[in-house]
Structure 1
Amino acid sequence: MYFVVKVTSGQENIAANILQSKLSKGDAPIYSIIVIEGLRGYIIVEAQDELACRNFITKERSIKGIIPKPMDPADVEKLIATKSTAQDISRNDIVEFTSGPFKGYKAKVLKVDELKSDITVELMDVVVPIPITTKMNTAKIIQRANAEGS
């Protein structure tokens, strides 16, 4: 079962490392700890059940709590798949936002920062085009740059 664990925003990797270290020292029924880039303030823990997860994360630094309802494995797969498909966005691609305040808008990619998983885009069909930097996993490619001959 997958559980969403609330952590201090920006401390997802630190919290996961703390839990990983704790896991290597004990025999808790924890199967995986997942950090998804762009999912700020949360990590996903695969555990035997909610009680095992709750006991495992209790009294750890940077960890604020657990959302008691287990997450559907298909939703976890979607989150992981979104991350991997977002990696192949490149300069001059046309993307459409799938989440966030610009959901449904189309934009041209100006710059890609793979290290931070950020893209800088310019919205299309707006009066004044302004560059916007956002996470890669908030957009999907609808037209490749090389397809249009750029």
Structure 2
Amino acid sequence: MEENVRDEDVSIFVVKTTANQERSVANMIERIVDKQKLDIRAILAPDELKGYLLVEAPSREVVESAVQTIPHAKGVIKGESTFREIEHFLTPKPSVTGILEGSIVELISGPFKGEKARVKRVDELHEEITVELFEAMVPIPITVRGDNVRVLRKEEE
């Protein structure tokens, strides 16, 4: 029954880290939590927050004891965050965000991996794009998932 109840005595604390070391600090916190059986419920390292981690725990002291010996962890920021303040970090962004019609992309998986193509259509609802390969003898539209391409150049046709 306990997993259905959201504990109101748990807060979200912000840990300052060295930039680009967020994930390694999160991994070290996880190891310390396992080893010392600390009551830390979750650790989040959003890409948008350079130099910071979000840690869910019942008290600031628990988080401070977890990070005190970790290199690149600079300490716990004063105050607490609420779930409402951080929930936008938990919402996945569509994989086609930032891909425009006319952009030049490289396919990074599938049978056409390594091929370059021009984006002909973007389907945000299904998170797919339709491309035409540059090297094809006859231009055939191919539909691929948005996370199967890397944008090389953004430009309109």
2:56 is aligned to 46
Partner of 1:2: 12
Whole-Å separation in 1 of the counterparts to 2:12 and 2:105: 31
CA distance in 2, matches of 1:22, 1:4: 17
Structure 2 residue 27 is matched with structure 1 residue 17: yes
- Residue 56 of structure 2 aligns to a residue whose secondary structure is strand
2:52 aligned partner, one-letter code? Y
The whole-number CA distance in structure 2 between the counterparts of 1:2 and 1:46 is: 4
Deviation, 1:145, is 3.8
Counterpart amino acid of residue 65 in structure 1? G
Distance, in Å, in 2 between the alignment partners of 1:63 and 1:86 is 31
1:63 and 2:99 aligned: no
SS at match of 2:14: strand
- Matching of residue 29 in structure 1 with residue 45 in structure 2: no
Structure 1 residues 71-129: Cα deviation after superposition (integer angstroms, max 9, x where no partner): 11111111222xx1253415216xxxxxxxxxxxxxxx94679x9xxxxxxxxxxxxxx
Q: Which runs of 5+ in 1 are unaligned?
A: 94-108, 116-143
- Does structure 2 retain, via aligned residues, the 8 Å contact 1:2–1:44? yes
**How far apart are 1:146 and its partner, in Å?**
4.9
Q: Which runs of 4+ in 1 moved over 3 A?
A: 109-113, 144-147
Q: Which has the higher helix share?
A: 1
1: distance between equivalents of 2:18 and 2:104? 29
Quickly say closer, same or farther: Cα 1:112–1:24, change in 2 above 3 A. Answer: farther
Give 1 or 2: higher strand fraction.
1
Structure 2 residue 104 is matched with structure 1 residue 87: no
* Higher Cα radius of gyration: 2
SS in 1 for 2:33: helix
Identity of matched residues, %:
24
Taking a change above 3 Å as real, the CA distance of residues 112 and 25 of structure 1, as seen in their structure-2 partners, is farther
Distance 1:76 1:35 in 2: 11
TM-score (norm 2): 0.56
Q: Write out per-residue CA displacement over residues 32-78 of structure 1, whole angstroms, 9 at most, x where no aligned residue.
A: 11111121100111111111111221121110011121111111111
